[in-house]
Structure formats: structure tokens, C-alpha cells
Amino acid sequence: MNYQHLIIEQQQEEDTASLILNRPHVGNAFNAELIEELITALEYLAGQPIRVLIFKGNGKHFSAGADLNWMKNSANLTEQENYEDAQRLALLLKRLNQFPTPTIAVVQGAAFGGAVGLASACDIAIGTPASRFCLSEVKIGLIPAVISPYVLQTMGHRQARRYFLTAEVISGQQALELGLLHECVSEEQLEEAVHSLAQNITKNAPLATRQAKQLLADIAQQPLDSALIDLTCKKVAAIRVSSEGQEGLSAFLEKRDPAWRQT
């Protein structure tokens, strides 16, 4: 498929792919067309033999949030039409959040409005001191509703109570302290830091990495009861007897690299 607003780069020798927002003339602001392209691209990439997905923006900014023309059009839609419009963004965030392999958001420049949700739906986020986050919706009479589950699980309820209501701009260093970023490095170090993270992931067992990600989704917000304990026991028992688990244990005991690292 030819994408008008996206660039997809696959590095087969490194088992990684980059999904790049490509609307630099508007700060990679998203509209209905970009959302649809992202939904399609994520579905395609989920079926590719990649170990890591890197999600970033082309140009100075990760994403300035919603496109102005898109917001103007939404003002002319009915409530039902706005609901259906929001459902598409919700599907995008769900697909990104549930992407089968690890995802890394590279937040250069601005991540405003819905873009905070995109970064929060990724497993890992890395930025620079010049990165800027803002839950800006209340400034224009809206609320960060669709992105709220992902932002809340990232920065926590207490901090969200402040930034959902104040719409303050959050610096890269503040974002690190709030949990919106895992790392905050200099502009010059950003590319190397992302590469290092991706390398760390691709050194690990492919099936175990996917299942570790799924495990986190399965146990999140679940009560620590006998059912959850039983689930975790079943999961570890199954992967121990898998071919990958057996290879990993054998390699450890034999003091050699496992097969996936040799290739």
C-alpha cells in the first residue's frame, strides 16, 4: 500500500521497523486520513517478522496533536458522527497498545493532545530535554477522553488529576519524572539511545518477549487473587516446556549463546 502521510522503513538485518508520521509541514498533526493509514499500517506490520517497532515523527515534532482542519470539520458533525470519528482513534490506540512486539516512541519536539496518547500506548518512550508534552484539550473546550486510559496507566491518576485540568506544558525532564518518558537524552544521543534499546530487545528470546508483553496486559488492574496466581503459574509452565524455553535453559546451563542470539 502507498501511504500519503506515513513512511515505513524495515531493517530486516536488525529485525526492526520504523513507522514514521510524515506530515512535517503541520507538525505531524493527525487527521482522519492519517488515523486510517496508521490503523492499516499497524495491521500490516503486526504480520511482519519484526522484533521491535519504532514509532516517530518526521521533522521537528513527534506530533502537534489534532489537525486544525480536522477539528473544524468535527464542529459540523452530529454527535453520532463524532462518536464514530472517535471510534477510529480508539481503534488506532488499541492496535498500537496491543501490537504484538515491543514498541518504542521517539518523542522529539512536541507531543500535544492526542499525541500524548500515542506515546503512552507504546511500551517504551524516549525523548530529549526539548521534548514537550501537553494535554491541551481543555484549553479549547474539549477533554482528553479517548486517550485517557493510556495516559492514566502511564503517568498515574494523581498526576493526571493535575495535567488533565491545567493543560500545562510538560518539559522533557518533567515527562521523565512523571513516567511519560523512560529516558531523556540529548538531541545528539537520541538516535543511538533508540538503537541501543532496540538492540537490547532483539537479543532476547522472540517468543518470550511477546509473551512477557502479553503477560503485562493480562495481569494489569487484576486483583491479586487465586485466579491471577493460577494464570501466572500456567503461563510460566507453558513457556518452560516450549522449544524456545528449552533452548534458553539449555544455553544458560551450557554457558553458550541461545540460537536466537547466534542468528
**Helices 79-97 + 32-46 axis angle, to 10:** 30
Instruction: Please indicate, yes or no, whether residues 182 and 214 belong to a single structural domain of this protein.
Output: no
Instruction: Please indicate, yes or no, whether residues 138 and 230 belong to a single structural domain of this protein.
Output: no
- Cα distances from 67 to residues 2, 19, 27, 132, in angstroms, run 21, 19, 9, 17
* pLDDT of 238: 85
* pLDDT of 237: 83
* Residue where a domain stops, chosen among 202, 219, 243: 202
* Residue where a domain stops, chosen among 186, 202, 218: 202
- What CATH number did the domain enclosing 167 receive? 3.90.226.10
* pLDDT of 2: 86
Q: pLDDT (tens digit, 9 = 90+) per residue, 116-158?
A: 999 999 999 999 999 999 999 999 888 999 999 999 999 999 9
Q: pTM for the whole thing?
A: 0.91
Q: Residue 1: inside a domain, yes or no?
A: no
- What CATH number did the domain enclosing 221 receive? 1.10.12
Of 71-75, 210-214, 229-233, the poorest mean pLDDT is in 71-75
Q: pLDDT (tens digit, 9 = 90+) per residue, 162-220?
A: 999 999 999 999 999 999 999 999 999 999 999 999 999 999 999 999 999 999 999 88
* Residue where a domain stops, chosen among 202, 220, 240: 202
**Pairwise CA distance, residues 42 & 53, whole Å:** 10
Instruction: Please indicate, yes or no, whether residues 184 and 257 belong to a single structural domain of this protein.
Output: no
Give the confidence band of 263 by pLDDT, cuts at 50, 70, 90: low
Instruction: Please indicate, yes or no, whether residues 38 and 140 belong to a single structural domain of this protein.
Output: yes
Instruction: Please indicate, yes or no, whether residues 187 and 233 belong to a single structural domain of this protein.
Output: no
Q: How far is CA 166 from the centre of its chain?
A: 24
pLDDT reading at 20 higher than 70: yes
Q: Residue 121: inside a domain, yes or no?
A: yes
Instruction: Please indicate, yes or no, whether residues 217 and 235 belong to a single structural domain of this protein.
Output: yes
Q: Residue 146: inside a domain, yes or no?
A: yes
Instruction: Please indicate, yes or no, whether residues 132 and 214 belong to a single structural domain of this protein.
Output: no
The total of structural domains in the chain comes to 2
Instruction: Please indicate, yes or no, whether residues 157 and 42 belong to a single structural domain of this protein.
Output: yes
Q: Higher pLDDT residue, 196 or 225?
A: 196
Q: Residue 124: inside a domain, yes or no?
A: yes
Instruction: Please indicate, yes or no, whether residues 78 and 149 belong to a single structural domain of this protein.
Output: yes
Q: Higher pLDDT residue, 252 or 5?
A: 5
Q: Which domain holds residue 227?
A: 206-262
Instruction: Please indicate, yes or no, whether residues 196 and 211 belong to a single structural domain of this protein.
Output: no
Instruction: Please indicate, yes or no, whether residues 44 and 172 belong to a single structural domain of this protein.
Output: yes
* pLDDT of 173: 97
Q: Higher pLDDT residue, 249 or 10?
A: 10
Q: Residue 183: inside a domain, yes or no?
A: yes
Q: pLDDT (tens digit, 9 = 90+) per residue, 34-64?
A: 999 999 999 999 999 999 999 999 999 999 9
